[in-house]
Structure 1
Amino acid sequence: MDDYAGRVLADRYRLPLPPSDEYEFAETRAFDTYSGQEVLVRQVPLPEVVEAEVLDEDGGPGAVPAPRRASGRTTRRPTDPAVRRAIEAAQAAAQIPDHPRLDQVFDVFAEGGSLWIVSEVVAARPLAALLAERPLAPYRAAEVASDVLTALRVLHAHGWVHRNITVRTVLVCDDGRIMLTGLAAGAAEDALCGYDPVPDPPEEDDGGGGGGGPDRAPGGEQGGGPPGSGSGGGLPAPHAPGGREGAYEALNSGHPGGSSGQVAVGAPALDGARSGGGARSGGGGGARPALPAGDTRAARAGAIAAYRAGAR
């Protein structure tokens, strides 16, 4: 608790003191005083608003009456419609069910001229930090790409497009797993720019006995849904019974396609990596043993449950 002696956000999240050469953290750990858990807090600065000058009708060109003179730059308030849309977009992104390849977002709020996104603490480093040390081995790069594709298939199955994949939003966990982050922050930034990133809700079946045409993907193409959804992909559809459990089974089984037995993109490269390199490695060099998937999932589930219990 002594490590978190900085400012308190939302009367709940206590931040550490920033370094003397840094005004404020853009991303840092924080202590949740409600649940007693450490969380990760990301800051999305809200854009400034430049108020327009209004000319007086009788004052002639360039005349600005004192009561209507512009006050300069101001920061958007939480009640601003653009800020509300950004919060709603980030909250909608946080509603995606928990998945081993996606970080869990807990809370989104606006305070002090910034949007704050609270998520779980992941024992990981961004891919950018590893690439700064040395390049990845070919098989390891294939593993990273395969895990990122798995995360994207889950997002696409729920109608989302990430639009924020960088070497900083791809996390390499200490046990070698890959997690994708940045969806909520990207959705908030898109909303602040005037774009609506939230997917349309799925159309409900009117019970017409299949008289309508085939479903259309968000891009307008006909098909049975995004890759990895329904019977046409490796992962079950999010609305199908056992869909979420099937995604976990697909991750932990030897077949990336889960119970359907289909092989996902990048699986041949993974097979070569396992046969030639053994266990996954966190970087581009030697291999390190991975923790059992059940233990990792149990630890994450415990941390998430503790946060939600404190939020009640």
Structure 2
Amino acid sequence: MAAENHTDVSEFLLLGLSDDPELQPILFGLFLSMYLVTVLGNLLIILAISSDAHLHTPMYFFLSILSFVDICFTSTTVPKMLANIDAHSKDISYMACLTQMYFFMMFGGLDNFLLTVMAYDRFVAICHPLRYTVIMNPRLCALLVLMSWLVISLVALVHVLLMMRLTFSSGTEIPHFFCELAQLLKVARSDALINNIYLYVSTVLLGVFPVSGILFSYSKIVSSLMRMSSTESKYKAFSTCGSHLCVVSLYYGTSLVEYLSYAVTPSSQSSAIASVMYTVVTPMLNPFIYSLRNKDVKAALRRLLSRAITCSELSKHYGSLIQM
């Protein structure tokens, strides 16, 4: 098939995770359930933090932003996948594909940066406790989030602009359940050397700096804990890092699993299945990790649910009085 300019390409075909018709209802039910759990779980975290004055601190501010980003991250891929399964279709328009790719890279990169910022927050809290409120002031917290968003938005935008240079065949098949950048570069009909160079450079830079920041922060934290004489003080200080460490391990662990699975079995199918871990599973588990391992969040969730139940009972009571 002759290559055509991108302006003539009206749509791509997302092949999804499986072509088996019997598996489609199972995949639909599974991913719908995971998506609803992800949205509801992260919304509860956001509501609990915003409604509880005890949680109006930098650590929980970053956690609420992380929960919001996780909702958006999952929402860039799963709804389209569910719509295609329900409609027995594989179509996605050219502009919708580029839009999905942009927001996927942006929210995925924001997750990466936020985990680094949260590691820095824990470093300041444990290593400089007396200056914590001065250093981690609201202005700095907002600036860190804004700078993270601006940097990753610019990186993602350049990826999209470079992608618009490429040519594709009409009805190009993408062996994935969403428009992943690497898969799009593979199916392009024109030379994608510049795109690949930029992809490798941006991946290394956006991977090395955040990971280095996290490792540096925790090396200082461990060094500070070693100087503490009381075992109870060590445990209390490090316990505030437990949830963050679990999320970091899950985020980078699932990304590593996808890379290794592709390296060992370089097939698009294995890559698509492995990518489910960090695109769907990780955002779903984050609220459980923070709610189960954090006493403050659990207490805030209990108060939030208690208020919701009380309001529900009062509305029923007033409703019955009106009827009388």
Instruction: Name the TM-score class by shorter chain.
Output: under 0.3
The structure, 1 or 2, with the larger RCO (C-alpha pairs under 8 Å, 6+ apart) is 2
TM-score (norm 2): 0.23
More strand by share: 1
TM-score (norm 1): 0.24
More helix by share: 2
